[in-house]
């Protein structure tokens, strides 16, 4: 793997071990980013393995195109959300694929690009959109929503214990246009901070999730992904916080069962049939060596199912 990539892919070798890419395989990287995982899949599936890369981030796509150009026609890159996996595969004349990867959340590249508005380290417009050509920015949310709506976002998506206090402070100090304005306001609610983690971390995460509708996208994308797998194909999902991981775990468990009726119901009436088997009973997590080299990997969890 090229160490010059702007984003170090998390659980890189573990992902390749899961897929064991083959020259006859077709793979989807639904969160292409800078192409780190995709490069490994294409390299190890030589000479004929194919990869379709999807991403909403135009900046990431530009980098990935250059990075993966060496693989020529074996790679197809689309400026699309992974929520549309099945539709995009149909447009390419592909009926099913060997493997699908979803590496959720924010990449290091996005976080480190100040003008994207994901980080509170440097002053920047409060944007947070993965696709900067569409949708509402974080600034539009905090400046237009009601206090109850802001509090709900912060609590539901960020598990922020002071969600209502922060929401009230936002209302009282509007308009808010920059990342540092919002971060300073949240620090004021906490009256500064002494811990290593900035008090704005949970709120920034919550707003990012709301801006990009990440959790609903994940739910729909998991269904699309399983529907797009060939028999024996695998879908691997890397998540970075409890809300994502809970959705993935529960969905995979549900789709691995023949019956999803309530336990107290004596006779099955759901007619549900298992579509996958759990390939990982427990999530795969980074080794200490990886965390030491890339601290952002510490919360990563990899879960995998296989189509039956």
What is the pLDDT at residue 198? Answer: 86
What is the pLDDT at residue 3? Answer: 44
Domain boundaries, the chain: 12-103+214-307, 115-212
Q: Across all residues in the chain, what is the average pLDDT?
A: 91
Label residue 115 by pLDDT band (50, 70, 90): low
What is the pLDDT at residue 231? Answer: 98
Query: 238: helix, coil or strand?
Result: strand
What is the pLDDT at residue 103? Answer: 95
Give yes or no for a contact between 92 and 76, defined as CB atoms under 8 angstroms apart: yes
For residues 109-132, average pLDDT = 78
What is the pLDDT at residue 130? Answer: 87
- Asked if pLDDT for residue 120 goes beyond 70, the answer is yes
Reported as a single tens digit per residue, the pLDDT across 74-84 is 999 999 999 99
Edge-first strand order for the sheet with 26-29 is 75-78, 50-54, 26-29, 97-103, 229-239, 301-307, 276-278
Label residue 302 by pLDDT band (50, 70, 90): very high
List of residues 6+ apart from 241 with CB closer than 8 A: 105, 205, 299
How far is Cα 62 from Cα 28, in angstroms, rounded to an integer? 18
* 12-103+214-307, CATH topology level: Rossmann fold (3.40.50)
Tokens of 188: 């004021």
Per mean pLDDT, which of 24-28, 102-106, 271-275 is the most reliable? 24-28
**Position with higher pLDDT, 114 vs 279:** 279
Q: DSSP characters for 22-78?
A: -TT-EEEETT-TTSHHHHHHHHHTTTT-EEEEE-S-HHHHHHHHHHHGGGGGGEEEE
Label residue 4 by pLDDT band (50, 70, 90): very low
Reported as a single tens digit per residue, the pLDDT across 154-176 is 999 999 999 999 999 999 999 99
For residues 82-110, average pLDDT = 90
- pLDDT above 90 as % of the chain: 77
What is the pLDDT at residue 122? Answer: 84
- Asked if pLDDT for residue 263 goes beyond 90, the answer is no
**Position with higher pLDDT, 3 vs 203:** 203
What is the pLDDT at residue 51? Answer: 98
How far is Cα 28 from Cα 242, in angstroms, rounded to an integer? 24
List of residues 6+ apart from 73 with CB closer than 8 A: none
How many CB atoms neighbour CB 281 within 10 A?
A: 6
- pLDDT above 70 as % of the chain: 93
How far is Cα 80 from Cα 32, in angstroms, rounded to an integer? 10
Give yes or no for a contact between 94 and 229, defined as CB atoms under 8 angstroms apart: no
Q: DSSP characters for 88-129?
A: HHHHTT---EEEEEEE-S--HHHHH-GGGS--SSS--BS---
How far is Cα 6 from Cα 34, in angstroms, rounded to an integer? 7
Label residue 116 by pLDDT band (50, 70, 90): confident
- Name the class of domain 115-212: mainly alpha
Reported as a single tens digit per residue, the pLDDT across 196-220 is 778 999 999 999 999 999 999 999 9
Tokens of 105: 């959340």
Reported as a single tens digit per residue, the pLDDT across 5-49 is 455 799 999 999 999 999 999 999 999 999 999 999 999 999 999
- Asked if pLDDT for residue 1 goes beyond 50, the answer is no
What is the pLDDT at residue 113? Answer: 64
Label residue 191 by pLDDT band (50, 70, 90): confident
Which H helix or E strand runs over 231? strand 229-239
């Amino acid at each position: 793997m090229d160490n010059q990539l702007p984003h170090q892919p998390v659980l890189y070798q573990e992902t390749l071990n899961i897929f064991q890419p083959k020259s006859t395989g077709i793979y989807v990287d639904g969160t292409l980013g800078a192409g780190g995982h995709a490069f490994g899949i294409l390299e190890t599936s030589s000479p004929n393995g194919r990869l379709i890369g999807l991403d909403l981030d135009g900046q990431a796509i530009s980098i990935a195109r250059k990075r993966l150009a060496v693989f020529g026609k074996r790679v197809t890159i689309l400026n699309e959300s992974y929520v549309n996996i099945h539709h995009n595969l149909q447009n390419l004349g592909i009926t099913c694929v060997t493997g699908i990867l979803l590496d959720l959340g924010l990449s290091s590249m996005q976080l480190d690009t100040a003008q994207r508005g994901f980080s509170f380290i440097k002053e920047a417009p409060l944007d947070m959109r993965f696709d900067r050509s569409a949708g509402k920015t974080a600034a539009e949310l905090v400046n237009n929503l009601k206090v109850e709506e802001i509090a709900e976002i912060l609590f539901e998506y960020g598990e922020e214990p002071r969600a209502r206090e922060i929401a009230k402070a936002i209302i009282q100090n509007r308009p808010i246009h920059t990342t540092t304005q919002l971060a300073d306001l949240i620090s004021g609610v906490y009256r500064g901070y002494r811990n290593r983690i900035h008090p704005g971390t949970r709120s920034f995460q919550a707003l990012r999730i709301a801006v990009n509708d990440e959790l609903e996208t994940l739910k729909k994308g998991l269904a699309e992904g399983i529907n797009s797998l060939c028999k024996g194909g695998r879908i691997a999902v890397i998540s970075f916080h409890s809300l994502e991981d809970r959705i993935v775990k529960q969905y995979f468990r549900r789709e691995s069962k023949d019956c999803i009726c309530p336990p107290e119901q004596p006779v099955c009436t759901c007619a549900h049939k298992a579509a996958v088997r759990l390939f990982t009973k427990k999530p795969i997590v980074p080794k200490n060596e990886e965390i030491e080299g890339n601290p952002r990997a510490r919360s990563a969890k990899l879960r995998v199912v296989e189509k039956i």
